[in-house]
């Protein structure tokens, strides 16, 4: 799985829009919702987007995690726009659960966290991923053992 991290929403707008059209997500993970939130609220609050894209070897998008890092003395890794969203989730390809086993996702999550921590603009002190439903579409998304080590 190839991982990309973006902080410029405009740079991935077209791909995000195409993916949300076929993927499992809620309205709160759509490009329009989160780009508007970032322009009106996030930017003023010093929120730095950390949009994580995960791709299969063939380049096909498997997931998009609209994450962010909040400014302040304690930098939180959280969902982009989480304060105004009812649900915070990744955007998942229809075959995500069939392609990614739970143990593989745990390793992937550790890699994502490591890459964010090593990036000056995405460095964080704690993870605060709240308001996550049990499933996105038909796929379970919560795992109590998915932590950064």
pLDDT band at 146 (very low <50, low <70, confident <90, very high): very low
**Which listed CATH number (1.10.101.10, 3.10.20.30, 3.90.1260.10, 3.40.630.30) goes with 2-140?**
3.40.630.30
Per residue in 67-82, is it b (16+ CB within 10 Å) or e — as a string? bbbbeeeebbbbbbbb
What per-residue confidence (pLDDT) applies to 38?
Answer: 95
Q: What is the mean pLDDT of the chain?
A: 86
Check residue 137 and give its pLDDT.
53
Say if CB 54 and CB 91 are below 8 A apart: no
Residue 62 has pLDDT above 70, yes or no: yes
d(CA 105, CA 94): 16
pLDDT band at 89 (very low <50, low <70, confident <90, very high): confident
Q: What are the tens digits of pLDDT across the range 4-58?
A: 999 999 999 999 999 999 998 888 889 999 999 999 999 999 999 999 999 999 9
Please state the rounded mean pLDDT for residues 120-134: 81
């Amino acid at each position: 799985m190839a991982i990309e991290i973006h902080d410029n929403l405009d740079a991935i707008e077209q791909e995000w829009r195409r993916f949300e059209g076929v993927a499992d997500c809620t309205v709160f993970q759509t490009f329009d919702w989160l780009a508007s939130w970032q322009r009106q609220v996030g930017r003023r609050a010093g929120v730095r987007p950390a949009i994580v894209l995960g791709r299969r070897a063939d380049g096909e998008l498997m997931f998009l995690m609209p994450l962010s890092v909040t400014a302040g003395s304690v930098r939180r890794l959280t969902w982009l726009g989480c304060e105004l969203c009812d649900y915070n989730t990744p955007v998942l390809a229809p075959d995500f659960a069939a392609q990614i086993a739970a143990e593989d996702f745990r390793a992937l999550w550790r890699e994502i966290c490591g890459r964010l921590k090593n990036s000056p603009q995405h460095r964080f002190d704690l993870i605060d991923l709240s308001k996550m439903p049990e499933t996105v579409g038909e796929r379970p998304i919560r795992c109590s053992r998915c932590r950064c080590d």
